[in-house]
């Protein structure tokens, strides 16, 4: 079970409406309320042709929160949310906070058995599900399961005896008592230091190394990270971001929370498989920000008109969700020299943001993940948990209000990564003489080949510098002579456009001989999670004993 010493007791009263006391502890629902008070008529979110103002977004969220509060669930109950990015997702997500419960965003690409594991693991009492996923329900609702409440957008067939199913439209048909103008703000200014350290949400990792782990994040974790990100990105109420990343993914969740807290606009478009459609949305909606993982940028650079467009209103790009090769960063910079590019690093366990590279340092510090975000401390430590001098490598360790409460039901694994309140990330890194941080690789992504230690990231970055390479993944495979051989899986602009020998010769220009991949496989595309991150684990599983 989760550590109850860390999960502060939940309030007995739902937090879905403004508190009377001015010393109330801040929670996530407060950010929506505050933005609704300040920016009531501004557009909070756009999805296709649908738009919603802050006032209406708050009202819908409040209606659903009031309904959930009436279900008489135990305070702090976990509620799963299986829903694609949409305006509905936003107000349903905030409604769970407003009712005093804990949302568990669910990866919509997962198979039913994995979804069932997550719902069972966190002990979900209710499920908010988009009707397009209703075919999963028979597998998610076990006869002895504890889920008794369902909220959905459309009628579900067949009926499930003993299950209370409520349609969203029916919930929204009941008016709330106050208009937003009648509500008084509880605070003049939010301070993340006043945020609650109660459990707020559980985000499950992809489970790439085993069963999914539920990352427990408090209100303070999420809000401290939200306001730090707003600070270094200098987000204002006239900012808007194109969201192509799913909200169940912690990076996508961060885009949602930061822009709602800043009074900005979230532009949702789930059609990244059609890059030109995405680019047209960026221009049509005059977005000021675009955020993506490395594969998003590589696809846009190589398979769309992205580099040839102006994006008159765009102010910045942000990139996280894995390391982006310096050559790819350079291509984005060359295509958009007048835009700010924020290279960022984080983990779900850190809510998620840990560091960022200031855009003005991009050229001088290319390849760096930058400096800590406001309120976060980063040290590079050796195996004895002692900080090493600049220039020496070690494990990247994070301390701050953003560090998770722990893993749900995973005390043993939690103890491996949380020590004395700090997060041991498992990433190997070093700082330069100016304190800028460079990731060397994952502890578990160091290949030991013929007695030599090889960083997969170093080899990947080298291959990605080739003009005809779009994507590359490097990992170790069993080898009778070397113990572990280096294998690269490569995607080129045109399939089979270059040869294996050409890739090896290209690597020899920059890499030592023992770092040259012994085996190279070409694929038309790489397997990916729905978030866009490359599913390296799937590739490794397909190459167990070569």
User: What secondary structure, in 3-state letters, does 315-347 show?
Assistant: CEEEECCCCCCHHHHHHHHHHCCCCEEEEEEEC
pLDDT one-digit tens code per residue, 292-324: 998 899 999 999 999 999 999 999 999 998 888
Q: Using an 8 Å Cβ cutoff, are 268 and 86 in contact?
A: yes
Rounded Cα–Cα distance for residues 366 and 228 (Å): 23
C-alpha closest to that of 223 among 386, 371, 388, 25 = 25
Distances (CA, A) of 216 to 121, 421, 432: 13, 14, 33
Cα(506)–Cα(38) distance, integer angstroms: 56
The per-residue DSSP string of 187-208 comes to -SS--GGGB--SEEEEEE---T
Task: Let me know: does 354 contact 376? Beta carbons within 8 Å.
Answer: yes
Give phi and psi for 460, each to the nearest 5: -60, -45
Task: State how far the Cα of 76 lies from the Cα of 102, in Å rounded to an integer.
Answer: 6
- Pair 297, 272: CB distance under 8 Å: no
Angle at 93 between CA 115 and CA 317, to 5 degrees: 95
For residue 185, the model assigns a pLDDT of 58
- Which stretch of DSSP H or E encloses residue 478? strand 469-479
Report d(CA 147, CA 104) in Å as an integer.
13
Neighbour tally for 86: CB within 10 Å = 18
Residue 412 in contact with residue 429, Cβ under 8 Å? no
The Cα 293–Cα 270 span in angstroms is 15
Residue 484: the pLDDT is: 79
Residue reference for tokens 């990100």 = 229
Distance CA 440, CA 396 (A): 10
Look at residue 19 in the predicted model and tell me its pLDDT: 36
Token pair for residue 357? 């590279």
pLDDT per residue, tens digit, the chain (546 aa), is: 444 334 433 433 333 333 333 345 789 999 999 999 999 999 999 999 999 999 999 999 999 999 999 998 999 999 999 999 999 999 999 999 999 999 999 999 888 988 999 999 999 999 999 999 999 998 888 756 689 899 999 988 777 777 899 999 999 998 776 666 667 655 556 677 788 999 999 999 865 445 789 999 999 999 999 999 999 999 999 999 999 999 999 999 999 999 999 999 999 999 999 999 999 999 999 999 999 998 899 999 999 999 999 999 999 999 998 888 899 999 999 999 999 999 999 999 999 999 999 999 999 999 999 999 999 999 999 989 999 999 999 999 999 999 999 999 999 999 999 999 999 999 999 999 999 999 987 776 778 786 677 888 889 999 999 999 999 999 988 877 777 789 999 999 887 789 999 999 999 998 888 899 999 999 999 999 888 888 887 887 777 555
pLDDT by residue (tens digit) across 419-454? 999 999 999 999 999 999 999 877 767 787 866 778
- Structural domains in the chain plus CATH codes: 52-174 (3.40.50.980), 216-442 (3.40.50.12780), 450-541 (3.30.300.30)
First-to-final CA distance of the chain? 40
Q: Which candidate, 455, 463, 421, places its Cα nearest to that of 3? A: 421
pLDDT at 103: 98
Closest CA to 319 of 289, 276, 360, 277: 289
Contact call for residues 311 and 278 (beta carbons, < 8 A): no
* 492 and 468 Cβ atoms separated by less than 8 Å: yes
- In 361-503, the DSSP E strands lie at 371-372, 376-381, 394-400, 406-408, 418-419, 422-431, 437-442, 446-449, 452-455, 469-479, 483-492
What does the alpha-carbon distance between residue 459 and residue 472 come to, in Å, rounded to a whole number? 9
């Amino acid at each position: 079970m989760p550590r109850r010493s860390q999960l502060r007791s939940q309030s007995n009263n739902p937090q879905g409406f403004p508190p009377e006391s001015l010393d109330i502890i801040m929670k996530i629902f407060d950010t929506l309320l505050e933005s609704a008070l300040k920016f009531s008529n501004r557009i909070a979110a756009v999805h296709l042709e649908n738009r919603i103002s802050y006032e209406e977004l708050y009202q819908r969220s409040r209606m659903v929160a009031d309904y959930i509060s009436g279900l008489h669930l135990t305070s702090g109950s976990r509620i799963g949310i299986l829903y694609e990015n949409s305006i509905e997702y936003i107000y349903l997500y905030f409604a769970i906070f407003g009712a005093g419960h804990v949302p568990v965003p669910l990866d919509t690409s997962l198979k039913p058995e994995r979804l069932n594991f997550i719902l069972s693991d966190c002990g979900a009492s209710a499920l908010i599900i988009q009707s397009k996923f209703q075919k999963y329900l028979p597998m998610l609702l076990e006869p002895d399961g504890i889920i008794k409440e369902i909220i959905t957008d459309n009628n579900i067939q067949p009926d499930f005896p003993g299950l209370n199913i409520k349609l969203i439209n029916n919930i929204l048909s009941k008016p709330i008592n106050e208009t937003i103008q009648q509500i008084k703000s509880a605070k003049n200014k939010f301070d993340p230091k006043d945020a609650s350290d109660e459990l707020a949400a559980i985000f499950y990792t992809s489970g790439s190394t085993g069963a999914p782990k539920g990352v427990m994040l408090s209100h303070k974790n999420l809000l401290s990270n939200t306001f730090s990100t707003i600070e270094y990105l200098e987000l204002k109420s006239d900012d808007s971001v194109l969201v192509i990343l799913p909200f169940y993914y912690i990076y996508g969740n961060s885009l949602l929370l930061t822009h709602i807290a800043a009074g900005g606009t979230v532009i949702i478009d789930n059609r990244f498989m059609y890059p030109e459609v995405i680019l047209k949305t960026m221009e049509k909606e005059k977005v000021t920000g675009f955020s993506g993982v490395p594969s998003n940028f590589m696809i846009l650079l190589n398979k769309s008109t992205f580099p040839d467009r102006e994006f008159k209103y765009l102010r910045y790009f942000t990139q996280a969700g894995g390391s982006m090769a310096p050559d790819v960063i350079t291509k984005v910079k060359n295509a958009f020299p007048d835009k700010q590019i924020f290279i960022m690093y984080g983990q779900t366990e850190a809510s998620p943001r840990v560091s960022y590279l200031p855009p003005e340092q991009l050229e001088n510090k290319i390849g760096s993940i930058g400096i800590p975000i406001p309120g976060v401390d980063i040290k590079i430590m050796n195996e004895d948990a002692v900080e090493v001098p600049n220039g020496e490598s070690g494990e990247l360790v994070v301390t701050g209000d953003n560090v998770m409460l722990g893993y749900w039901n995973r005390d043993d694994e939690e103890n491996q990564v949380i020590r004395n309140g700090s997060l041991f990330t498992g990433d190997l890194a070093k700082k330069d003489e100016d304190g800028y941080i460079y990731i060397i690789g994952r502890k578990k992504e160091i290949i030991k080949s013929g007695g030599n230690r090889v960083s997969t990231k170093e080899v990947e970055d080298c291959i990605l510098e080739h003009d005809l390479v779009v994507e590359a993944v490097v990992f170790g495979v069993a080898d009778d002579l070397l113990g572990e051989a280096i294998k690269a899986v490569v995607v080129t602009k045109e399939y089979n456009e270059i040869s294996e020998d050409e890739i090896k010769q290209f690597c020899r220009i920059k890499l030592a001989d023992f770092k040259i991949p012994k085996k190279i496989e070409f694929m038309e595309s790489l397997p990916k999670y729905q978030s866009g991150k490359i599913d390296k684990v799937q590739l490794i599983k397909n190459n167990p004993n070569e």
